[in-house]
Structure 1
């Protein structure tokens, strides 16, 4: 009991207003969204101090427990039941039992039930939503602003529901059920409110169980792919998803993404090209470019041009002139992954020598053998340099009368 006073930072007192003010002063430092554990400790200390101030005698507490309403007893038993606590049918049965009470009884019990639910570590939010709807818990009915804020955060959590179907844990030991539920609840909260700490949260945890739940599997695919993390198990999950929904773009994307992150080489290329052609998007572009960078760096500059051509082709399109293309070329040029031929090719694109001068130089003075790659480079160079020579200026110099000139064509 002394710990509650240490947390509140006050001496033991029976002054309820003093206890309340201490609680309110500390509340901003322990918000239920940003620090749920700290908030829980603070709330528990507040309630213990209130209880001590109202009835310090231990026998009064014992009498209170023994006189607890049968509905409250039944609710505690439901929450502790390994068999029923995640079963919607069991919760419906409890609600039917609650409906047998009078309106006055229900009005007295509704907030006591809410208080018990808020203090329960492992609870099915989807099932609890049934009870919340029946009892119509509303934040504005709280006794003060602090309680209202806490209740609002709690009801928002209930509204979002469970991270996955908790019934998928039914065959696991109780302690493993609790740990698994708490872990994925924490992960989802961090992803929603503090995504910058998500990678750290994954690294802290050791081995963990992945429940057999489709909703959770797709969340994991999204989380891991967004963080650029690979997991071999997710490849199988994505493959099963695509088998069930062969035309689902997300299933196809996550399968390609996880295979790429897992380091798959030549066997992935055909599927990547198929995805790139079927679903034009920046995500598809990034997959193809990512694969080329890892496995065929000398083809990366050409893949960048192909991506640019599809994204930007119009009447004013000049190959190789987009900011993104030039940044990607510069990045691969300085990465150290290109061969001497590849570096020379990208360098020629930046300096824009006369068309064919670079390729002829490689063949005549440096003895570069004729290869399919050189032929592709030569063709790409011609496309870039010939298009560049046709660029248009916006306006000609001002005419003698001081007016704007007409658009003219200029050559470099």
Structure 2
């Protein structure tokens, strides 16, 4: 049986049809689904390119194909191409296959609605929270309040309609978007932590943690990089010799670099750009002394777990699944620069606490290792398959 996975991610493809992504939606991620299904079809928007930019990795491969949906940007772009997008989903998602929608996002909600309209089952993976993502500190789109209400309610609806639901958190997303009564529910992170992702031992700190790293996309304001830059300026003005390295890229980068210049911390704030492989990101993590994740919205952040696997102490915002990973004294309310300054400065200045958090974070990250989570992920996929049996084109024979 084939499983099709619909997601909001934007992809690129070359003239030969090969598809690429600059995030986590690459072949290594999708081949996990082959433990239960014979074929995986990834469904998303894709834009044609002649050259593959640095930092992009292949999506398709043995057992994994890609179904391109006509490319668009934003709600108005979708409206202009709604007929073509709907037709691609209608033709590409076959009645007898398994379908998983990765919530939330406009394309995936459209796919879920089409499946429901046709009377065909679908399952859901909940990877983020639109209520927070479209909150006052999230996107600045003029229709933000409408999107917040609409996408939050659609996520709740489609979780209730799904035949199985997997959440990347263990508790946080389940509270806001519960499944229907009696529906199989799973709380399993989608992080990829093979054995080489782990440090051999916790770190032992003899002095302050001066070198902090933040890993995240600069596509939207969700990762709170602007908050990190402002907090860095306050801490350095107070005499803390701290440096920040931002790993990631996107359209917000020029504005963030200008902000660092404006606040006088450009020399202490490095924008390293996109990395091409997980090994390159691990080198950035290994070279840092503390990890920062001041997100405005999150599911369960993979980058934080990857940092913890390297034995990094971490400071983050109390949002989404982050409180499931970090202790209260290392958390700040989302969007609160003053509290971020407090938590960052306190931990970075305390070698004993840094060492203790390193050991604690490494031990917790080991509970998210691939070898531990793969069986739980397979349980979700087996449930999806069991509720997605191919349908016979003939009605059952009547019995007298």
The TM-score by the shorter chain falls in which range?
under 0.3
- TM-score normalized with structure 2 length: 0.21
User: Which has the higher relative contact order, 1 or 2, with Cα contacts under 8 A spaced 6 or more apart?
Assistant: 2
Structure with bigger helix share is 1
TM-score by length of structure 1 reads 0.21
Normalized per residue, the structure richer in strand is 2
